[in-house]
Chain A
Amino acid sequence: MSDQPQFQLDGQPIPFQPGDTIMQAAHRAGVYIPHLCFHPQFRPHGSCRLCVVNMQGKTVSACTQPASIDLEVHSETTELRQSRLRLIQLLFAEGNHFCPSCETSGNCQLQALAYDLGMTHYHYDPFYPTRIPDGSHPELFIDRDRCIQCDLCGRASEQADHKAIYLLAGRGQHTHVAFRSDDGELGSTQAQAEDRASHVCPVGCILPKSGNYPDIAGARLYDQIPIHAQGNHRRDDGGTHDD
């Protein structure tokens, strides 16, 4: 009998360690809470809001809310599923997400969550923002149309690569992924294809310049198995990133 402290998530006891967030504890217990900007290896960002849960009448993001003993947390409710669907639709509407021409289609966590939440359309009118791509790096291409501003590249670059190359710059609808270099181009940084930051993007924003479209439709990550059943993965993580 463990005397580890617990909280309740949708009626299920979830043990947690001191300093855990609700998301970290649920993740360790193998209970899926939808998310995009959370990654177990990096500091929480709390920006995508997909992990909204209800904590004793209050709506909070599970990735930033500390776990505490005897909390009653609800995640899989009709209302929260509706909120998450609208959040996903907002993310689609505020970028330029043309899935049929995207290298990451089928392996994309944004798309996979949309499928899982039953999204059939945008609900909101698309913004069609003008976003400038960056092709200056010899091995990497940056397609800002698809960026969801989760800052996973920034966190991986800082916390894993210790290079601090990627950041989010600008404000409001002008927020965009940027690079710490004199001319603002990725090609002028020390970024390398093997960096952790080059392999953490949950969508199709940071891409290798070669070797794309390796899997046929039907054999891609999320073609058969929904994201809630396998977790947030990239096709190049060997099934380990989110474990």
Chain B
Amino acid sequence: MTTKKVRVATCSLAGCFGCHMSFLDMDEALIPLLDHIEFDRSPLTDIKTATRCDIGLIEGGLCNEENKEVLHQFREQCTYLVAVGACAINGGVPAMRNHLSVQACLEESYLDGLGVVDAQIPNDPELPALLPKVLPLQAEVAIDFFLPGCPPPAAAFLELVQAVLEQRAPNLDYASRRFD
């Protein structure tokens, strides 16, 4: 086992942060792990831009242009890029909009939805443009490892980090291969 700490960046694209919650759900196993890893860009550190990292954990698929930009930054900076959770792997629940047009989704949410007051579709130029379809990460960049699940169990995160520490491919057991 190496003495140099493994540097980990994390982010949520079109996700719900449930995968981040599951990472933290490894409970007391986090404490010894912190002797071996350190965090770079992550909602856990509030660092906004990834620097050179060993592992990039990305939850969520791609629903807008900013998601694509962040994904490419992670791909450039991370030795191992990991698609974490159902949304990163197949678009997940957000991809259920894929058989509808973006315009139809916006109208349903902001014009015709129940209880909408002062109906208008947001059009601030700072808002990233929505993609026509929600896409999995593999549609845009090469992915090194996949952690399935909604969310992946905490044990899957632990196995992934330990595998990288031990310089081997992760081996998810039956209980850690979950799609829900």
Contact = CB atoms under 8 A, between A and B. Distances in A.
Contact of A118 (B90, B99, B150, B177): B177
A100 interface: yes
Given A100-B179, A105-B179, A111-B179, A122 B93 contact: no
Interface of B: 83, 86, 89-93, 95-96, 98-99, 133, 136, 138-139, 143, 146-148, 150, 172, 174-175, 177-180
Contact of B179 (A99, A118, A130, A131): A99
B180 A126 contact: no
Contact of B177 (A98, A100, A120, A131): A120
A217 B175 CA distance: 12
Given A92-B90, A121-B83, A121-B89, A105 B180 contact: yes
Nearest to A108: B179
Interface of A: 92, 96-102, 105-106, 111, 114-116, 118-122, 125-126, 128-131, 217, 224, 226
A130 B90 contact: no
Contact of A226 (B83, B174, B179): B174
Given A96-B96, A98-B95, A99-B150, A121 B138 contact: yes
A100 B180 contact: yes
Contacts of A96: 95-96, 98-99
Contact of B180 (A106, A120, A125, A128): A106
A119 B177 contact: yes
Nearest to A115: B177
A130 B148 contact: no
23 contacts: A92-B90, A98-B92, A100-B150, A119-B148, A120-B147, A121-B90, A121-B138, A121-B143, A121-B146, A122-B136, A122-B138, A125-B136, A125-B138, A126-B90, A126-B91, A128-B91, A128-B95, A128-B98, A128-B99, A128-B133, A130-B99, A217-B180, A224-B175
A195 to B, nearest CB: 28
A105 B180 CA distance: 7
A100 B136 contact: no
B135 to A, nearest CB: 8
Given A99-B86, A122-B138, 14 more contacts: A97-B90, A98-B93, A100-B150, A100-B180, A105-B180, A106-B180, A118-B172, A120-B177, A121-B143, A128-B95, A128-B99, A130-B99, A224-B175, A226-B174
B136 to A, nearest CB: 7
B89 A122 contact: yes
Given A100-B86, A100-B179, A111-B179, A120 B172 contact: yes
